[in-house]
Amino acid sequence: MMKQVLIGILCGGGVLTIGILIGHYGIAKSSNPAPSWVNDVTKDVDESLIQRFMSEVDNMQIQENLRELTRVPHMATTPGDEQTVQLMLKRWQDPETGLDEAWREEYMVYLSFPDAKNPNKVTVVSPSDTVLYTVREKEKPYHPDQEDPEVVQPYAAYGPAGHTKGKLVYANQGKPSDYQHLNETMDLRGTIAITRYGGAGRAAKAINAAPYGVIGVLVYTDPLDINDGLMSDINETYPHSWYLPPSGVERGSFNTHFGDMLTPYLAAKEETYRIPTEDITGIPPIPIQPIGFEDAYILICELDGAAAPSQWQGGFNCTYNYGGPGFKHTSAFNNSDVKLDIFNFEEVKNSSNVMGIIRGSVEPDRYVIYGNHRDSWVHGAIDPSSGTSVMLELTRVLGKMVKQGTWRPRRSIIFGSWGAEEFGLIGSAEYTEQYFTMLSERTVAYINVDIAVFANATLRASGMPSVQDVIFTATKQVDAPGLDSTSVYDNWIRFANRTSPAHGVIPSVGYLSGAGSDYAAFVHYLGITSMDISYTYDRTKTNARIYPAYHTAYDTFNYASTFIDPGFVSHQAVARTAGNVLVRLADSLLLPINCSDYAESLEDYLNTAVNLYQTQLQARKISMEPLKQAVTRFRNVAGHLDHMIRTSDLANETPLKVRRINDQLMLLDRAFLNPLAFPEKYAYRHVIWASSSAGKATFPGLADAYARAETSGLDSDWNKVHYHLSVLSQAIDGAASTLVDVI
């Protein structure tokens, strides 16, 4: 019996097992098994992968990147530039740590150079044409880097060649108001104006001068503006500190618009139509030359005439006079002219972008773009190679994960190493012109890291308000360099903060309303959500306009590693922050783009506009109601969308619903584009972030139109104010229409 029972139990167990097997494998479930792609399409960002990425970002690798990038000067289209092209390609094509693919894209672009055989000359000449004084032609060497024959002579790119002389006057910053003021004290016709950097764009210093009959312009960096007043290279300036030596000269592009000047809105290919050079606008109409403050000191302190106003005074230990015009009677330069012999020439040259990609696994047709320019004026250790060093470290770590098969982003990542930025953001602008439609339809965001480290005090970020949140998330996860157990976020908030109605006290994120780096074409021409990230100053410690070696022959590896970021820990923090943001944008199931934060900025701008303009507009029967209604609607639908996101279980929703919401977020900024709103501003189409000269923290087109109308009082100018109000209302209401329930 026991045996029978045992057999029964064994048999029963066997039958049960067979039954279980049949039931499990033999009978199809009423629901089909999930297709293999279901897991992929619902996968979210992997926090442990972000931690791994950040831990692998190596400051010493960044240092070695910088050393290699800055061996020789690499001005756009020079042999040094080609060396950096090859370096980028080698790194991005590396089989162990490279990207999926990398290549170069070439454009034939209009550049401007000094003539090495006929260096530009600035002299003081007596009435009998005797040369009494010659301005230094090249910066004084303190390190072998400055003696490299490839160091380009300081010059004003796009300033015309020409030979001109006249009595010297001091015109402060060369703003319209400066020349207007000066013109009230003397006849400016036939004079040469010396101006200091700041206050007006480079080209503007000459453009503003010409209508008054000024025939040449000098520009220098005043020690007060860059060196906190220090001037001596015996013990104060580089190589003793980060301050600019007396002979240092800021080079630069003296133009107003960005992109290749001969091919507006067209990619500058070999056969592309080029406008006649005489149709170029926004460049100096008269010769202009930048000089060092050691020479400016000699010239300015000898000037005759009345003392200039106190705001015009700089760091020299003399009174800045207007000029007689010309020099004091007591000066050795009495009755002498300043003479400019400028030999600049323009040339169409072949400039390369280097492009690299990591293909997305789930949404390859969605792009996160990360870029920086590659070209410099001289060695460009800080500008731009600090950013390039960071980009190379970031691609090394990510590339390795891709090559090892441990990671592939959900969306595609495009890296751009732009050419000829220094001449006017040319490489990035041509890229956006060539691929306009593709990029505007598919790009989730653009991350720009140009100068990665200006100084080592705190993070600085600018961008659309919608990316504030993802920058905060990232910075909370990165250790602040040189500080124990403080995050980049916690350090940042001490240096720059504001009170947000929604979030309380948070770090201040700036806006990208200018064209300071390669984000310009992405923001203003394409309307792509963008950001610019760097480490920067403690403003309580310096008033320098920018890091002092900017665009000079002193911006070298030695300078960067000694004075800007010894140990490269700030570089590392920027790489971790930018990479963290990049991976979140590429991998998150739901895009980390927040439309309610955008609403907050629009409300800010609206309040300012109402405070500044409403009374006057009401008197003219121009209503601000449509603008108010549009902002209110935007706020409401943004809140509605956010609520829908918060209350949805996106990982279990149809992937087309997630895609739909992501498309709403991705395309939000496109709704603010209007290609006709700013006919006089090349490629500015974003009606919220366009540049403005009115200096008000509000909608740029409205602010500029209002300022113009207030000045002129013309009905036609008040009409323009009304026009810009309508453009804005329609754009913001149109943006709201893209955020509301899709149908």
Q: Which residues are catalytic?
A: 421
Q: Is 412 in the site for its own copies (CB under 8 A)?
A: yes
Residues of this chain, 250-269, that bind its own copies according to CB under 8 A: 263, 265-267, 269
Task: Tell me if 272 contacts its own copies by CB under 8 A.
Answer: yes
Q: Which stretch binds its own copies (CB under 8 A): 78-86, 121-129, 218-226, 717-725?
A: 717-725
Residue 358 makes CB contacts below 8 A (sequence gap 6+) with 99, 100, 398, 399, 402, 408, 409, 412, 413
Partnered with residue 252 across adjacent β-strands are: 156
The residue type found at 606 is: L
Question: Which residue in 5, 6, 10, 12 binds its own copies (CB under 8 A)?
Answer: 12
Distance of alpha carbon 227 from alpha carbon 537, whole angstroms = 14
What is the x/- site pattern for its own copies, positions 367-386, by CB under 8 A?
x-------------------
Choice between 3 and 24, CB closer to its own copies: 24
Of the candidates 6, 10, 38, 714, which one interacts with its own copies according to CB under 8 A? Answer: 38
HSE toward the beta carbon, residue 461, CA cutoff 13 A = 30
Residue position matching structure tokens 């009905």? 715
Residue 743 touches its own copies, criterion: CB under 8 A = yes
- What is the C-alpha separation between 380 and 468, in angstroms, rounded? 29
Q: Could you say which residues in the range 51-70 bind its own copies, by CB under 8 A?
A: none
CB atoms within 10 A of CB 532: 23
Closer of 133 and 435 to its own copies (Cβ) = 435
Q: Which of the 8 DSSP states describes residue 639?
A: H
Q: How far is the CB of 670 from its own copies (least distance, A)?
A: 6
Contact between 617 and its own copies by CB under 8 A: the answer reads no
Distance CA 528, CA 661 (A): 17
Given 213, 285, 516, 734, the residue binding its own copies (CB under 8 A): 734
CB of 517 to its own copies, least distance (A): 25
Q: Which of 149, 145, 154 is nearest to 292 (CA)?
A: 154
Among residues 510, 660, 712, 714, the one that binds its own copies under rule CB under 8 A: 660
CA 513, distance to chain mean position in Å, is: 10
Reduce the DSSP state of residue 257 to 3 states and report it.
coil
Of 112-120, 341-349, 532-540, 733-741, the segment contacting its own copies by CB under 8 A is 733-741
Instruction: Determine contact, residues 458/510, Cβ cutoff 8 Å.
Output: no
Give the gyration radius of the chain's Cα atoms: 30
Question: What is the DSSP pairing of strand 192-196 with strand 168-170?
Answer: parallel
Contacting residue, 64, 68, 603, 733, with its own copies by CB under 8 A: 733
Regarding 725 and contact with its own copies (CB under 8 A), the answer is yes
Nearer to its own copies, 2 or 34 (CB): 34
Residues within window 486-545 making contact with its own copies, judged by CB under 8 A: none
Q: Which residue has the tokens 């609607």?
A: 633
656 belongs to the binding site for its own copies (CB under 8 A):
yes
Q: Is 35 in the site for its own copies (CB under 8 A)?
A: yes
Q: Pick the stretch among 6-14, 177-185, 288-296, 540-548 that binds its own copies (CB under 8 A).
A: 6-14
Residue pair 171/184 in contact (Cβ under 8 Å)? The answer is no
Q: How far is the CB of 643 from its own copies (least distance, A)?
A: 18
- Residue 441 as a binder of its own copies (CB under 8 A): the answer is yes
Which of 5, 6, 10, 22 touches its own copies (CB under 8 A)?
Answer: 22
Stretch that binds its own copies, among 12-20, 43-51, 323-331, 336-344 (CB under 8 A): 12-20
Instruction: Check binding of 567 to its own copies (CB under 8 A).
Output: no
Given the structure tokens 């100068």, which residue do they identify? Answer: 451
Q: Which residues, 587 to 616, sit near its own copies by CB under 8 A?
A: none
Pick the binder of its own copies from 1, 2, 29, 329 (CB under 8 A). 29
C-alpha 147/C-alpha 251 separation (Å) is: 17
**Structure token pair of residue 273:** 């139509």
For the chain, the residue count is: 743
Of residues 184 and 271, the one with the C-beta less far from its own copies:
271
> Beta strands of 114-227 (E only): which ranges?
121-125, 131-134, 156-157, 162-166, 168-170, 192-196, 216-220
Report how far residue 65's alpha carbon sits from residue 69's, in angstroms, rounded to the nearest whole number. 6
Does the protein bind its own copies through residue 93 (CB under 8 A)?
Answer: no
Decide: is 620 part of the binding site for its own copies (CB under 8 A).
no
- 435 belongs to the binding site for its own copies (CB under 8 A): yes
15 binds its own copies (CB under 8 A): yes
Q: Is 433 helix (H, G, I), strand (E, B) or coil?
A: helix
Helix/strand/coil for 104: strand
- Residue placing its CB nearer to its own copies in the complex, 29 or 329: 29
Under rule CB under 8 A, residue 34 binds its own copies: yes
Give the list of residues 6+ apart from residue 667 with CB closer than 8 angstroms, or none. Answer: 738
* Six-digit token string for 707: 């300022």
For residue 562, state whether it binds its own copies (rule: CB under 8 A).
Answer: no
Question: Can you state the angle between helices 625-646 and 595-619, rounded to 10 degrees?
Answer: 170
Which of 19/211 has CB closer to its own copies?
Answer: 19
Measure the CA–CA gap between 686 and 525, rounded to whole angstroms: 7
Which of the stretches 118-126, 140-148, 271-279, 541-549 binds its own copies when contact is defined by CB under 8 A? 271-279
442 binds its own copies (CB under 8 A): yes
Among 143-151, 478-486, 548-556, 673-681, the segment contacting its own copies (CB under 8 A): 673-681
Residue of 185, 241, 331, 434 that binds its own copies (CB under 8 A)? 434
Q: Report whether 613 contacts 718 (CB < 8 A).
A: no
Hey, which residues between 123 and 182 contact its own copies (CB under 8 A)? none
User: Under the criterion CB under 8 A, does residue 40 sit at the interface with its own copies?
Assistant: yes
Residue 33 as a binder of its own copies (CB under 8 A): the answer is yes
- CA nearest 223: which of 256, 255, 204, 245? 245
Of 27-35, 460-468, 473-481, 558-566: span binding its own copies (CB under 8 A): 27-35
- Which is nearer to its own copies, 28 or 234 (by Cβ)? 28
Classify residue 663 as exposed, middle or buried by CB count within 10 Å of its CB (0-12, 13-18, 19+): middle
Q: Is 106 in the site for its own copies (CB under 8 A)?
A: no
Q: Which is nearer to its own copies, 31 or 711 (CB)?
A: 31
Cα-Cα-Cα-Cα dihedral sign, residues 33, 38, 44, 47: positive
> At its nearest, how many Å lie between its own copies and the CB of residue 667?
5
| Residue 477 vs 623, nearer CB to its own copies | 623
When asked if residue 1 is in the footprint of its own copies (CB under 8 A), the reply is: no
- Is residue 469 helix, strand or coil? helix
Q: How many residues bind its own copies (CB under 8 A)?
A: 89
Cβ closest to its own copies, residue 184 vs residue 625: 625
- Amino acid identity, position 731: A
Phi, psi of 278 (to 5 degrees): -70, -10
CB hemisphere CA count around 345 (13 angstroms): 9
